[in-house]
Every structure is written in structure tokens, then in C-alpha cells.
A = this chain, B = another copy of it.
Amino acid sequence: MRPMRDYFPILDWGRRYDRAALSDDLLAAVIVTIMLIPQSLAYALLAGLPAQAGLYASIVPIMLYAVLGTSRALAVGPVAVVSLMTAAAIGTVAQQGSMGYAAAALTLAFLSGAILVLMGLLRLGFVANFLSHPVIAGFITASGILIATSQAGHILGVGASGHTLPEMLSSLIRALPQTNGVTLLIGLSVTGFLFWVRRGLKPLLRRMGMGARAADIVTKAGPVLAVVASTLAVWGLDLEAQGVRVVGAVPQGLPPLTMPPLSADLVGALIVPALLISVIGFVESVSVAQTLAAKRRQRIDPDQELIGLGAANLGAAFTGGMPVTGGFARSVVNFDAGAATAAAGVFTAVGLAVAAVALTPLIFHLPIATLAATIIVAVLSLVDLGILRRAWAYSRTDFLAVAATILATLTMGVEAGVSSGVALSIALHLYKTSRPHVAEMGLVPGTQHFRNILRHDVRTDPAILTLRIDESLYFANARFLEDLLAERVTPDCALRHVVLMCSAVNEIDLSALESLEAIAHRLDSMGIALHLSEVKGPVMDRLKATDFLARLSGRVFLSQYDAWVALAGPRGAAA
């Protein structure tokens, strides 16, 4: 039974909360709130939802995570990749802009939340392990490209549709003649401004004598500045008359209480996307949380993180939100701004609630193109095609997994991309371990060490064949070993002993045991004894439970040198 405090981390840090932590948390909350207002609106737009869904998804979910999550700095809310996956998932069940579309987003958040909480209670966090780094890196890069392309339409002032790159590009090209010049001007100016803020503003402020922290805060306020300036421009110059699309009326007030529709059809259609969103969101979130926690020697508990993120999503489902997870950029900002506890998250939520109540009328004239520019600048930092080069340099199989994931995501959409990446990594792993490295070993003269005969000048004995197997023996490579021995041993008539060095064999499963029995039996009928050496404790325990050792024609030696002394005799040992 886990103690209550493990399920409610707030009981731990809450008891020791003091004035110093309060002032740190308040400052961090102000900075993160300023950053989150345009981001929440933009990611709602990316998901195809009304702007307020993004704000709502950042209020109650943040509070629930503060109570249940184990990271002190993680900031949850709508993030780019999850918003893209949301759009892809609910685009298949409802028409964008319809009532059913926003309702389906609630269902998706509910299902993701339920899956995450269930995985947390069943301690199934390890499922996330099957998303390898290359698959995640490839998926995020491809998602960044898809997101930037989808937003390019808003910069041009035209609609771009589709969930794959070819669909999006062809719809963009068809719509190109309808480009709205004023919208394009706003979009390009804001994009250029935001890039400049990222690259040029901070060094400039530092050169002007501003402190590092202050420069950082001003830089983070860049998107807000762009929002204010472009909103004023549209309002003052009445650019809506020129065809510039704006956010429009956003309901004023606190998040509403909503009930996610849970019809069997809808649940059936969204359960697989919800699972993928949960796992991707969890993997992203937990790695940010772990990195930030280590910097202050704090710990996060991955299984409890599942519960925290799950509760955040359930909260989003019941308060008019959308699927959420821990965001990378906002969490780093929160941490750097000095957030001491999860209370910073609660204060951020309060700040956003104030915005939802007081500021929504002010964003009526905010141009969509500005939000699109915010998204494009944010996601382009996710696009890292260098992963292809790094994976190629490291190993061909990792490269294949990255390349296939990117290609599948771009051409078949996010769900097919993740699924095929996972399936391919597993297949490649099985293929690799099905053909293990096996080295023929010899004695290094004057020592008790054995080395690969192909790499070193070592002593061997024509009557003894020593093979070191560099892999656990299990069903996928059991037959490989049978074939390899048959090929190596059959033509070699001088051979009397085969020794398998098992120092790197971490497991022998039942298939491999039966293969070893078959090998022993076949060697026996050729008058050759089979020996084992350097068998690990756990493997030996398991072999002892069978009659394999009793029926073995040869012996089991503690060390390979013992085997050599016993089999090669005094002549060999004296070498």
C-alpha cells in the first residue's frame, strides 16, 4: 500500500511552504501567465477549436496537476504536438467549427485522462518505453513541419485543409490566388519580429546594460507585444474591412462546467488516438520533468506523473478545454523564473482565469495571422532534421526508424506515423537480436584472458572450439545458434570439444534451452562434447531447475580459463 503522500504530493511540499517560496512562485507565475495567454489561444486555433478552449485548458488542469503531479516546475496546458494530434483525431468524427467538434475535443481529453490515470494506478508507465527516442524525435520533427505548413494558410489569409503534408500543400497551392495582401503583411511582419526577438533582442538588451534575468523576461513578452501591436493596428486601421480575419467574440467569464459526450460510437472512434496522445504527451512531459527535477536534486515519480497528467486531462474535459500535457518551453521558463513549488502553477491558473474574465473583449480584433506566426516560430524550434544525420552516423537501424517515422507522419498523418515507427523499432530490434555477434575465442599467451581470434594474436587448440555469444539466448536467435554451430562444426573432424562462453548471456529462455539440448544431442552424435563457461548466477539457477546439466555430455566451468586448463591439458595450460 502506497502512503497517501505518494498519491498527493501537495501534502509533502504544502506543509513546508513559506514566504520565500511564495514570492518566488508569484514572480514565476506572472512571467508564465504573460507567455501562456497568446500560446493558449494559438494552440486552440491549431486544434481547430474556439480560442477560449485553449485558455480554459490552462486553468483547472494546471490546478489539478499542482495537487497530484510530482514535478515542482512542470507547466501543463495545450501544447503544439498534442494540439495537432487532437485536430487529426477529431477531424475524422466532426466538422471543424461545429458544436460536435468542440464536444469531441472534450471526449478526447476525457479518454486521454482516463487512460493516463488507469496506467498510473496499474503502474503501466513502462508502456511509454516502446516509443524509442528516434521515433519520438522523428515524430516531433515531422509534426513541426505539419504544424508550420497548416499555419502557413493563416499567414496567407486562406484556409489550408488536410492532415498530411501532400494534402496540405496541394490545398495551399490551390488557395494561393486568394491570398489576402494585408493579412500576409501582418503575418510576415509578426513572424519576422518574433524571430528577431528570439535571436537578436536578448543580446541587444544585454549590450544595453540590462540584467540577464530582466532581458529574459522582456524577450518572453515578445509574443504579447506582437499581439497588442497587431490588435491595435487592425482596430485602428479597420483592417477587418480589408479581409483580415480576427479572433472575434470570445465569451467572457470563468471556464464553464461541461460534460464530455461519451456515446459508444464516439468513444470507439477516439480511443486509439486518445491512447497515442496519452503516451506521446506522457513521454514528452516526463522527460522535461525529470531533467528539471535533477537540477535541484528532486525526484519525480513516473507512475504518479501519469495520475497527475491524467487528472489534468479529466479537468480539461469537464471545463470546456482540450487535451493537455506538460509543455517544454513553458516549464523551462517557469523553472528559470524561479518557481519553487507547484503553487506557481496555481498562481498561473489564477492569472489566466483573470485573463478569461477581464481580457477577452480586448482580443476581439486580434488577427488570426498573429497567432499563426506565434505557432510557426514556436514549432520551427521543434524541427530538427539533424536527427537524420546523427542517427545515420550512429547506426543504420536507428536511422531507418527515424526516417520511416518522419516519412509516415508526413505522408500518412500523425497516428500512422507513430504506429509505424513503434512497429518498425520493435521489428528492427528483434531482427538485430536474432543475429547476435558470436566471436571465436583464443587464449592470450602468458595470461588467463581470452580474446577474439580475428582481432588478436591468440592460442587455439584444433580439438577445442570456444565461442562467446554476445546476446541473451531467446527464441528469436535460438535457431541462429543451431545453424551457426552446424555450419562451423560439421566439416571440422579434429574437433572434440565445443565451449560456449556465456558471460554476456543474460537470459536463456525455454526455446533457447531446447535449442541447446538439440545442439548438445547433435554434437554428441558427432562425438563432440558441449561445455559451458562463465554462466551468470540467475541463468545457472534456471538451468539447475532442469535436467539439461545432468544430460550434458560436457561440463560447466566457472571461468573460460578453467575450461581451457581442463580440456587442453597441461600442454595447453603451460602456454
Query: Which A residues fall within an 8 A CB radius of B?
Result: 126, 128-135, 286-287, 290-291, 293-295, 297-300, 302, 390-391, 393-395, 397-398, 425-426, 429-437, 452, 455, 470-472, 474-480, 482-483, 486-487, 490-491, 503-504, 506-507, 509-511, 513-515, 518, 521-523, 525-526, 536-538, 542, 545-546
Contacts and interface: CB of A to CB of B under 8 A. Distances in A.
Given A475-B133, A482-B290, A295 B542 contact: no
Contacts of A398: 509-511
A390 B546 CA distance: 8
A507 B521 CA distance: 31
Given A294-B525, A295-B525, A525-B294, A393 B546 contact: yes
A493 to B, nearest CB: 8
A294 B130 contact: no
Nearest to A471: B506
A506 B129 contact: no
A366 to B, nearest CB: 38
24 contacts: A126-B431, A126-B480, A129-B478, A129-B480, A130-B475, A132-B509, A133-B511, A134-B475, A134-B511, A135-B475, A293-B486, A294-B490, A295-B522, A299-B486, A300-B486, A393-B545, A394-B546, A395-B542, A398-B511, A426-B426, A426-B430, A436-B506, A503-B504, A504-B506
A61 to B, nearest CB: 24
A475 B425 contact: yes
B395 A298 contact: no
Contacts of A483: 302
Q: Which 5 residue pairs spanning A and B have beta carbons closest together? A: A132-B475, A294-B522, A133-B511, A398-B510, A132-B511
Contacts of A126: 431, 434-435, 479-480
Given A455-B537, A470-B506, A490-B298, A514 B475 contact: no
Contacts of A290: 482, 486, 518, 522
Contact of A521 (B291, B523, B537, B538): B291
A297 to B, nearest CB: 5
Given A425-B475, A490-B298, A509 B395 contact: yes
A508 to B, nearest CB: 9
Given A129-B434, A132-B509, A429-B474, 14 more contacts: A126-B431, A130-B434, A130-B476, A132-B476, A132-B510, A132-B511, A134-B475, A294-B521, A294-B522, A302-B483, A394-B513, A394-B546, A437-B506, A471-B506
